[in-house]
Chain A
Amino acid sequence: MSTNLTQAITANRLSDGFVVYLTAQDQWSERIEDCQSADDPRSAETLFARAQHHADSGQIVGPYLFKIVRDGGHPVPLSRREIIRTTGPSVGTDLNLK
């Protein structure tokens, strides 16, 4: 179930800084669809502890929890910032280029 408290974990990958999400398989995926979510503060805390472990081992940088809603099962970030992190720059990266 998706509640106001539904959260997932994101971070930046050490090697290239790309946005990644913590999965249920304890991996990091570039696709938000793969994220594991937590519906209550306690499971969010557990999720974060797992992410911190990965940060300590140097795979990823700066993990944090962020709020999502489930739209037809798909995780959608609530904040504009996280939406942009999910989709990439809203202006693309090849405008103004020949």
Chain B
Amino acid sequence: MYRYDEFDHAFVAERVTQFRDQVARRISGELSEDEFKPLRLMNGLYLQLHAYMLRVAIPYGTLSALQMRKLAHIARTYDRGYGHFTTRQNIQYNWPKLGEVPDILAELAAVEMHAIQTSGNCIRNTTADPLAGVAADEIEDPRAYAEIIRQWSTLHPEFSFLPRKFKIAVTGAPNDRAVTRGHDIGLRMHLDNAGAAGFEVMVGGGQGRTPIMAKTIRAFLPVDQLLSYLEAILRVYNQLGRRDNIYKARIKILVQNVGVEAFADLVEAEWRHIRDGALDLPTEERDRIAAYFSPPPYDDLSEDCPALDNAIDAHPHFAAWMESNVQAHKQPGYAIATISLKPHGGIPGDASAAQMDAVADLSEQYGFGEIRVSYKQNLILPDIPKADLYALWLVLDRWDLATANAGRISDIIACPGLDYCNLANARSIPIAQRISERFSDLARERAIGDLSLNISGCINACAHHHVANIGILGVDKKGTEFYQITLGGVANENATIGSIIGPAFDEWQIADAVETIVDVYLQQREKDEPFIDTYQRIGPDPFKEKLYATDQAR
């Protein structure tokens, strides 16, 4: 893992001191809310419906056991005993007190974490493939580049007041697990003909009220030129992006208005001025950062594991968990285990302090003390010896962390919605709870197979409903919550925006509507065809016919 150097430590500590002074001046009345608001937002502190909310960055979704224990400690000491993991690989605390936030930031700084640039019109926490470094299909661990981007973008003087927020995602694998096309800039690693690594650069993606998938403006960018090219993109955006209309201010609107080719030309023209200069990444510096992400000292294990096979044969629930929550590892004899934060009827992404401590303990007992946070609001233990999976599962089960639903219909991504969020129009969590309870039968959920279902409580689409196989968007119609369904969204390397199926359903109809969609799929699917393949083969009409056959929608 990356470790702070002296500069990092000093910078974060200085920021804590600064913010402590700003909070004191706000409480004493010296600063007005108008003066204080931009300062608190720069430190990830929002004011939500019921309380302040602190958003803490988890860079590229990687945590040490020590950091996870600190997050648990903060939840227990300063909040209400839990935290909420988000689609941007952050954790949010819903109940911090203003006067204690500087103490929380000091606690975070002690474990090399912070909340800087988790809000505001700046470059936000750079996200990455949660399986970075362990996925079998990976070309190179993308986290070194995510860390380089983090260092370049933190307090970048030119890009601290962009027209709007700016999100970058990086993957080092052909199978996209970071929704790179859904970001302002998506970076996907490829190899050129000579076997050298470089990035495909995709620009102008985003969800929200105008969902657009990012377009490729450069098919291959040598890795050493990453920062100069990113700087060229940001500079064009900073100069030409709209500042007069918040809904038109994201780079996706600029790319759309200028045209992809013209935008690429602008970037290339800017790049010509700054490439081959100070922003080039020297190989030794790249290697220095990459060394932080070196593989742990794996044992030389056999890929065959009879003990695991026996456990799978003997314990059907464990077998189901193995099927959905465990993935192949690049290292023989090891596996990647997803810890579902989606218990049936639970709050997606929430983890109690005790659960966080338990995950930290397990990461040390069975792995190398590393934990990942996925944009799907789950946790991942990336390095578990296959022979330990059953023992791991037994402990996870005790902590209600062994739901066998990763990638399944009850693995719902849901934003906090109107239960917490100041921007929301409708609640998301109770709808997620109702739907996940509806599909809590293990055999049925396995029979349905892989299916993504995401619920956003407003058009800002924090829960990525546009790219879910079944997307649900909460809307407010004259004071009543309604839920609009989109079908056909895809979040992987073939990212696709779903289409609205028809009129919205009320909160009591929406779970039935989802069930109807699933029934149509099960009737129409061929063999083991996943939901999305069936949808793409038969189109929306059979779903529409069944959904609106009776007048259940409005």
Using an 8 Å CB-CB cutoff, how does the interface string of A56-91 with B read, 1 for contact, 0 for none?
Answer: 111001100000000000000011110011001111
Closest Cβ–Cβ distance, residue A62 to chain B (whole Å): 7
Contacts of A15 in B (CB 8 A): 27, 97-99
| A84 interface neighbour in B28, B49, B346, Cβ under 8 Å | B49
Is A5's CB within 8 Å of the partner chain B? no
Closest Cβ–Cβ distance, residue B339 to chain A (whole Å): 13
Contacts of B433 in A (CB 8 A): 91, 95
Given contacts A16-B97, A78-B479, whether A95 and B51 have CB atoms under 8 Å apart is: no
B279-287, B323-331, B348-356, B444-452: which lies at the interface: B348-356
Are A98 and B47 touching (Cβ within 8 A)?
A: no
Closest Cβ–Cβ distance, residue B175 to chain A (whole Å): 30
CA distance A95 to B434 in the complex (A): 13
Contacts of B355 in A (CB 8 A): 97-98
Are A98 and B399 touching (Cβ within 8 A)?
A: yes
Using an 8 Å CB-CB cutoff, how does the interface string of B239-274 with A read, 1 for contact, 0 for none?
Answer: 000000000000000000000000000000000000
Using an 8 Å CB-CB cutoff, how does the interface string of A1-31 with B read, 1 for contact, 0 for none?
Answer: 0000000000010111111000000000000
Contacts of B98 in A (CB 8 A): 14-17
Are B352 and A61 touching (Cβ within 8 A)?
A: no
Are B419 and A90 touching (Cβ within 8 A)?
A: yes
Given contacts A14-B98, A62-B33, whether A90 and B427 have CB atoms under 8 Å apart is: yes
Closest Cβ–Cβ distance, residue B410 to chain A (whole Å): 13
Contacts of A19 in B (CB 8 A): 49-50
CA distance A93 to B419 in the complex (A): 10
Is B8's CB within 8 Å of the partner chain A? no
| A96 interface neighbour in B32, B94, B343, B427, Cβ under 8 Å | B343
Contacts of A14 in B (CB 8 A): 26-27, 98
Is B224's CB within 8 Å of the partner chain A? no
Are A85 and B419 touching (Cβ within 8 A)?
A: no
Closest Cβ–Cβ distance, residue B63 to chain A (whole Å): 20
Are A98 and B50 touching (Cβ within 8 A)?
A: no
Contacts across chains A and B counted by CB atoms under 8 Å: 100
Question: B51 — nearest CB in chain A belongs to which residue?
Answer: A17
Are A81 and B49 touching (Cβ within 8 A)?
A: yes
Are B51 and A80 touching (Cβ within 8 A)?
A: no
Given contacts A93-B80, A97-B82, A97-B352, whether A16 and B51 have CB atoms under 8 Å apart is: yes
Contacts of B80 in A (CB 8 A): 93-94
Given contacts A55-B33, A93-B80, whether A62 and B47 have CB atoms under 8 Å apart is: yes
Are B51 and A61 touching (Cβ within 8 A)?
A: no
Interface residues of B in 85-108 (CB under 8 A from A): 94-95, 97-99
Given contacts A14-B98, A16-B98, A84-B419, whether A91 and B430 have CB atoms under 8 Å apart is: yes
Closest Cβ–Cβ distance, residue A21 to chain B (whole Å): 13
Contacts of B361 in A (CB 8 A): none
CA distance A78 to B481 in the complex (A): 13
Using an 8 Å CB-CB cutoff, how does the interface string of B377-390 with A read, 1 for contact, 0 for none?
Answer: 00000000000000
CA distance A26 to B45 in the complex (A): 29
Question: B401 — nearest CB in chain A belongs to which residue?
Answer: A98
Are B346 and A96 touching (Cβ within 8 A)?
A: yes
CA distance A15 to B51 in the complex (A): 9
Contacts of B33 in A (CB 8 A): 55, 58, 61-62
CA distance A57 to B26 in the complex (A): 10
Contacts of A80 in B (CB 8 A): 418, 426-427, 476, 479-481
Contacts of B26 in A (CB 8 A): 14, 58
Contacts of B492 in A (CB 8 A): none
Are B48 and A91 touching (Cβ within 8 A)?
A: no
Contacts of A89 in B (CB 8 A): 50, 419-420, 429
Q: Which 6 A-B pairs have CB atoms at the shortest separation, nearest pair first?
A: A96-B346, A89-B419, A17-B51, A58-B29, A17-B52, A97-B352
Extra 19 A-B pairs, beta carbons < 8 Å, given A90-B429, A96-B343:
A17-B50, A17-B51, A17-B52, A18-B50, A62-B33, A62-B47, A78-B479, A80-B426, A81-B418, A90-B427, A91-B347, A91-B419, A93-B82, A94-B82, A96-B82, A96-B346, A96-B347, A97-B82, A97-B355
A-B contact pairs, 16 of them (CB 8 A): A15-B97, A16-B97, A17-B47, A18-B50, A58-B26, A58-B29, A58-B33, A80-B427, A88-B50, A89-B50, A90-B427, A95-B433, A96-B346, A96-B350, A98-B352, A98-B354
